[in-house]
Amino acid sequence: MSWREDESNDSGAYARVRVRHGLGAALKEVHPAAEANVLRTADLLREETELLDRLVADTLQGSRSIALARLEELERALARLVVISLVEQAAGTYVPQAGDRVQEILELGRRAGSGSGGGLDLHVGGNVSARIEDGRLSMVKLPPR
């Protein structure tokens, strides 16, 4: 595939272009090292993201589900990332709001454990439902409406 220039990259009509062309100059005006500091921060965040991704993968150990007891033991941030990862696997896309549902998922698990019978489901966004069955959390892609 050869390089193709998009003419919109030079148009000030688009915010992304105005940011790209104006932000660097504005940062240098504020502080000569600002641009380098932003780039360094981006590198650090990339490294930390890679570490967190490995931690989530290690926690799930290749499984598409997790025991609720294990999810409850995790630090809040890691539990959120695990839920997001499970939803992402089911949805095929990133569904960040799913991480906000961890407490509801754990509560649903407590209800399931108190003899409600069968599996329980909670819609978590992205056409995905959290399913609690036999003490485990998995995610199920819902059919389109």
- Taking CA atoms, 140 is separated from 12, 15, 86, 87, 91, in Å, by 43, 37, 9, 8, 8
Per the confidence metrics, is the pTM higher than 0.95?
no
Which pLDDT value is given to residue 18?
83
- 126 residue type, one letter: G
Closest CA to 139 of 65, 59, 56, 60: 65
Closest CA to 108 of 131, 87, 88, 142: 131
Q: What is the pLDDT of residues 21-49, one digit of tens each?
A: 888 888 888 898 988 898 999 999 999 99
Q: How confident is the model at residue 6 (pLDDT cuts 50, 70, 90)?
A: confident
Q: Coil, strand or helix: which one is 121?
A: strand
In the chain, what percentage of residues exceed pLDDT 90? 61
Q: What is the pLDDT of residues 72-117, one digit of tens each?
A: 999 999 999 999 999 999 999 999 899 999 999 999 998 887 655 5
Which pLDDT value is given to residue 44?
97
Greatest CA span in the chain, whole angstroms?
64
Please state the φ and ψ torsions of residue 129, each to the nearest 5 degrees.
-120, 135
Which pLDDT value is given to residue 127?
93
Three-state SS string over 128-142 comes to EEEEEECCEEEEEEC
